[in-house]
Structure formats: C-alpha cells, structure tokens
C-alpha cells in the first residue's frame, strides 16, 4: 500500500522533504527514491504510533492513534498545561516520524535486526569482530527520537498523583 496520510502515515513525503531540506546529515533521506521515502515514512509511523498515548482516540475507526481528545500534558518550557485540539497532530509526533524514517534509511536491515553480524567471537582475552566493523547494537528507535515524545506518552496515572511507600 502506498503512503496515505492519516491512514498509514502521519506525514507526507512533501512535508518530510521540506523538513529534511534544512536538516544536516539527511543525505540518506534526500537521495532516496520516492518509493523508499514512502516506505520509510510508513514504517516510521508504525513504530512511533505503537505507544500508549495521552488522551483517547477521537474515533474507534481511525487507523492511527492520533488525532486524540482529552490530550493534555505539562510543558516545562511553557510552564503550563497544554491541551491538544482534537484535529491537531502534535509537532513532536511529526518530527519523531521524520527522524525515525531517517534512522531506518541510515541503518539498513534495522527492522530485521541484521545490523550486527559477528564473523568471530573469542572467549580467551575476549574479542569480537563483525562484518561491518561495528560491534555496537543499534536501537530500532533511539532515545533522541523518543525523548521529545515523553510528555505525550501516558504514564497510566495522572502526573499529579503521588505515591508513598510505607
């Protein structure tokens, strides 16, 4: 299925192209063909959408988690509660989709978790080597993408609820 706004993607390729036109280190997205851009944006939306968001879905028939109603969060930068309109998609979600799409394009086979293939492992004096020379594990969704979303993710209770252990 091709990219369909608000059905399988929160953003269009035109919006993403505009975002990446001013972002540094976005060559993988900029140079990708349109089909690959759409696939990256749809997959990124699926990964970002799979959260327990604040508020309630506007309709039981919507295919994505946003838009939402009764979605209010505290913004420390503004020093106040922010209520998101029922027809609004927070900019943090759009940016997370853009960045997740770029992350997918920059890390081939990330979803299949084939990014780390060891050629040899030694136990005596411990040594590892893999085919691409990188022995670190790449996260599917790095914390730099998730951090701006934290205020929008439900904690299961009001942020003003305090619990004390006895």
Provide the whole-model pTM: 0.80
Give the tokens for residue 80: 């106040």
Residue 71 near residue 55 (C-beta atoms within 8 A): yes
- How do residues 105-118 score in pLDDT, each as one tens digit? 999 877 766 545 55
What are the C-alpha distances in Å from 26 to residues 20, 47, 82, 160?
A: 6, 20, 31, 39
CA angle at 6 for the pair 31 and 149, rounded to the nearest 5°? 75
* Chain center to CA of 133: 27
* Chain center to CA of 5: 16
The residue-averaged pLDDT of 84-90 equals: 96
């Amino acid at each position: 299925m091709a990219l369909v706004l608000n059905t399988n993607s929160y953003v269009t390729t035109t919006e993403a192209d505009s975002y990446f036109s001013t972002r540094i280190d976005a060559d993988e997205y900029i140079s990708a063909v349109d089909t690959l851009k759409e696939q990256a944006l749809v997959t990124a939306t699926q990964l970002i959408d799979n959260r327990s968001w604040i508020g309630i879905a506007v309709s039981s028939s919507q295919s994505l988690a946003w838009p939402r109603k009764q979605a209010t969060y505290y913004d420390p930068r503004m020093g106040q509660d922010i209520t998101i309109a029922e027809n609004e998609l927070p900019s943090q979600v759009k940016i997370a989709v853009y960045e997740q799409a770029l992350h997918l394009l920059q890390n081939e086979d990330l979803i299949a978790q084939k990014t780390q293939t060891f050629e040899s492992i030694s136990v005596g004096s411990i040594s590892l080597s893999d085919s691409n020379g990188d022995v670190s594990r790449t996260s599917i969704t790095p914390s730099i993408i998730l951090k701006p979303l934290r205020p929008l993710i439900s904690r299961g209770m009001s942020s003003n609820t305090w619990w004390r252990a006895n």
